[in-house]
Structure 1
Amino acid sequence: MKYGWLDEYCLSKQGANKDFKIEWNAIRYLIGGKMFAMQGEDKDKKAIITLKCEPPFGQFLREQYQHIVAGYYMNKEHWNSVYLDGNVPDDILKQMIDMSYDLILNSLSKKMQKEIIRETSD
């Protein structure tokens, strides 16, 4: 896989963990029990990662990179899928992961956010 750093990068986020969802045949990266990234395949068995983005930024990325498409099996406005055999630069993919993580973290209750930050700083 072109993005060999992907798993380690997602898991380096504060409080992040992963599981494998059998019925989706996909690895999910979670924060506070909510998914911020999903690595799996599309209907043609092509490897993808799906990430949440601010809608205008996601639209901009889809216009700039042919290997970024509206979220596969997800809300097409908020989620984007990146083909892992494509030409999306590492720094763009990392920016997308960072944004997705931050959006999900900020959607959690303030109490849960503090617990996650406290857990990882102990």
Structure 2
Amino acid sequence: MNRRELIDFCLTFPAAYEDYPFDDITDAGAWTVMRHRSNKKSFALIYERHGKLCVNLKCDPLEADFLRKVFADVTPAYHMNKVHWNTVALGGDVPDEDVMGMIERSYDLIKPKLRKRGRP
């Protein structure tokens, strides 16, 4: 999976959009932040590090620890909270299908929660 395919997959989620808060240009070296439009929370940060395409993804702490033990290319997130975020280096031992599942779970963790009727 390349950078464009990763961004395009993230854009399939409702109200998702791409943002470039750290760079003026949207070139291959820029950090791409995938966010939810209504609450501006990020669910995927896409960047290159040491020549590898990487993505930081929000994760349940128990799942984060499990994934780090299963895959060599899943590590505590670069520049993020190490408990709730993982970095996945693409093109390694993590199959694209698993990366897409991790992105979906990351999105589910940040999307706005529906309120029950009558509750503030």
Q: TM-score range by the shorter chain?
A: 0.7 to 0.9
Q: RMSD of the TM alignment (CA)? A: 2.2
Does residue 26 of the first structure (1) align with residue 21 of the second (2)?
no
User: 1:52 is matched with which residue: 48, 58, 67?
Assistant: 58
Q: Percent identity?
A: 35
TM-score by length of 2: 0.80
Per the alignment, in what secondary structure is the counterpart of residue 20 of structure 2?
strand
The equivalences for 1:39-118 within 5 A come to 39-42=46-49, 44-105=50-111, 108=112, 110=114
Q: Which has the higher contact order (CA 8 A, sep 6+)?
A: 1
Unaligned runs of 5+ in 1: 112-122
TM-score by length of 1: 0.78
Q: Is the 8 A contact 2:20 2:31 kept in 1?
A: yes
Q: Within 2, Cα distance between the matches of 1:47 and 1:30?
A: 19
Q: What is the number of residues matched between the two proteins?
A: 108
Unaligned runs of 5+ in 2: 116-120
Q: Is the 8 A contact 2:3 2:46 kept in 1?
A: no
Q: Is the 8 A contact 1:3 1:84 kept in 2?
A: no
